[in-house]
Amino acid sequence: MTFYGSSALPNGTKRTNADDFLYANGTDSIAASTAELSKDEMFVEDLLHAHEAKFCTYQPVNIFVTTFNVNGRSPPANLKDWLGAIDAREPPDLVVIGLQEMDLALGSYVVDNALKENEWLVALKLNIPQKVFRLVKSARLIGIFLVVFCRSGVTFGLSDVCLGSIPTGFLNFGNKGGVGMSFRLNDTHICLVNSHLAAGGNELYRRNQDFRLISQMRFRKGHGMFEHDVVIWLGDLNYRLDIPLTYDEVVQQIKEKRFAQLFYFDQLKEQQRLRVAFNGFMEQQPSFVPTYKFDPGTHNWDTSEKKRVPAWCDRILYWVKDKNVGIEQVTYESAHQVVLSDHKPVLSTFRVQVKKVDRPRRSAIYEQLLREVDKRQNELLPQITLSKTEFHFGTVLFDQPSLAVLTITNTGQTPTHFSFKPARPEADRLEEWLTITPLSSFIDVGGAVEVTLQILVFDESSCKVPKDGAELSSIIIVHLTGGRDYFIVVDAKYQREVKDLISFD
């Protein structure tokens, strides 16, 4: 195993320079970039998916993941009550740590200040088995911090590490948003996302909007989040309980350990059920005490004037490309004994079956499939059906999201990748008022993906905000790798709310 320096980071994403290594086993990437492949070759790359068992072997990799909103606190010398779960005798292969509100200083939004970042990185290194783990890479977006360690002596390769970030929040300064890390374990592509979504009990739709914006994150060569085999999303997601109980009644329910009854009112689960946010993501149902909000330094629920109702704000979820990806969320718990912050840390362990490609065998099957495609080109072309091809949203209002769901079903004989793009040749991106999640992904034979289309006009400072009464219209292409294009029509009429038209000048 060798170590070598990592690549440069995208603009707006910060990382430390110290002790930054990339683990690799010397293998090349499975496939060249799409720009280097012909249409037939891209098509065959998708066909290969159904034959992976013929040229892949699998190895279990154990990943420890934890998230903690530290409320701007500096790290104490001893973090064993939180990170003591990382056992030097039976260490995981990877350690993933996500912090939120690492730095609450106002100056951090204007001038990059790595003081808190360095404090926390040093503290984390000192509180995990130092002789066992080495730093892979760390990344920061203001107070959102993501760091990954790898166990020394692992028998798998870790390569192709790259970072991304999406700022949200006030003026997109990055007080909210997400940082991501993409890498390969052998030949399995992993994406990690650490996020801090909009706060406040009444800001549900802004949390959903933050999710959709962060989901647009792209990495090297334009690869999107949902083009990975596995996505692990952690952070302070800030979803609350929409529950018809008072603060005191909820606290009493917690004392009686009625977690399942309380979790029924969890906003995130309801948004997933409605297919509005985190569609396709999974998690164990929490069997631990809600993680927010506490009086710092105590185990007491919020005694401030606001008396915020407890909630499971801090979460660790996962998404897989298809049913063939082997992953298990083995444990899911909180470190309730930690009293540093007004949040409690959440910890989870995953077991992922990472694949390793036998390249000579793969090449032989690739050539065989290429010849078969030449003979059966029309029969093997990707085929999908769309649940709708026209989306008429009617009247949409300023700062009010309007949503619709498109189901794409693979009805052909081959797996396929899809992506959305504008039909206008001169356009390089979709309309600013339109967000599609996911923007690109993979569908196995017989599988289906639910895509959320959202119209939202919200940036009043933009010169592109439509005039009152304007018709919003767009034609979108659903592009299949190696297949035909499908077209979707989206339209709406924009109208400002009456209260926004009233002026007191």
CA angle 325, 331, 335 (to 5 degrees): 140
Phi, psi angles (nearest 5°) of residue 238:
70, 10
pLDDT at position 89: 85
Q: Name the residue among 60, 1, 28, 36 with its Cα closest to residue 363.
A: 28
Residue at 189: amino acid letter: H
pLDDT in tens, 465-484: 677 888 999 999 999 988 89
Q: Name the residue among 389, 405, 393 with its Cα closest to residue 471.
A: 393
pLDDT at position 18: 37
pLDDT at position 24: 47
Residue 407, classed as helix, strand or coil, is strand
As a whole number, mean pLDDT of residues 251-269 equals 97
Contact (CB, 8 A) for 273 and 299: no
List the domain boundaries for the chain. Answer: 2-8+57-355, 384-501
Q: Is the pLDDT of residue 298 over 50?
A: yes
pLDDT at position 465: 67
CA distance 165 to 422: 24
CA distance 275 to 139: 30
pLDDT in tens, 358-399: 999 999 999 998 888 777 777 788 999 999 999 999 999 988
pLDDT at position 470: 87
Q: Homologous superfamily of 384-501 in CATH?
A: Immunoglobulins (2.60.40.10)
As a whole number, mean pLDDT of residues 478-501 equals 84
pLDDT at position 197: 98
The DSSP line for 169-231 is SGGG-SSEEEEEEEEEETTEEEEEEEEEPPPSTT-HHHHHHHHHHHHT-B-GGG-BGGGSSEE
Residue 52, classed as helix, strand or coil, is helix
Least confident among 227-241, 350-364, 490-504: 490-504
Which ranges of 226-349 does DSSP label H, i.e. alpha helix?
Answer: 247-255, 259-263, 267-273
- Token pair, residue 355, equals 């694949």
DSSP state of 28: P
pLDDT at position 327: 97
Q: Name the residue among 61, 27, 69, 100 with its Cα closest to residue 190.
A: 61
Q: In the predicted model, what is the mean pLDDT of the chain?
A: 88
pLDDT at position 21: 45
Q: What is the CATH T-level fold of the domain 2-8+57-355, as seen in this structure? A: Deoxyribonuclease I; Chain A (3.60.10)
pLDDT in tens, 106-130: 655 555 678 899 999 999 999 999 8
Q: Is the pLDDT of residue 7 over 60?
A: no
Residue 235, classed as helix, strand or coil, is strand
CATH fold match for the domains 2-8+57-355 and 384-501:
no
Q: Is the pLDDT of residue 426 over 90?
A: no
Identify the band that residue 411 occupies on the pLDDT scale cut at 50, 70 and 90: very high
As a whole number, mean pLDDT of residues 38-59 equals 84
pTM for the predicted model, two decimal places: 0.87
Q: Is the pLDDT of residue 53 over 80?
A: yes
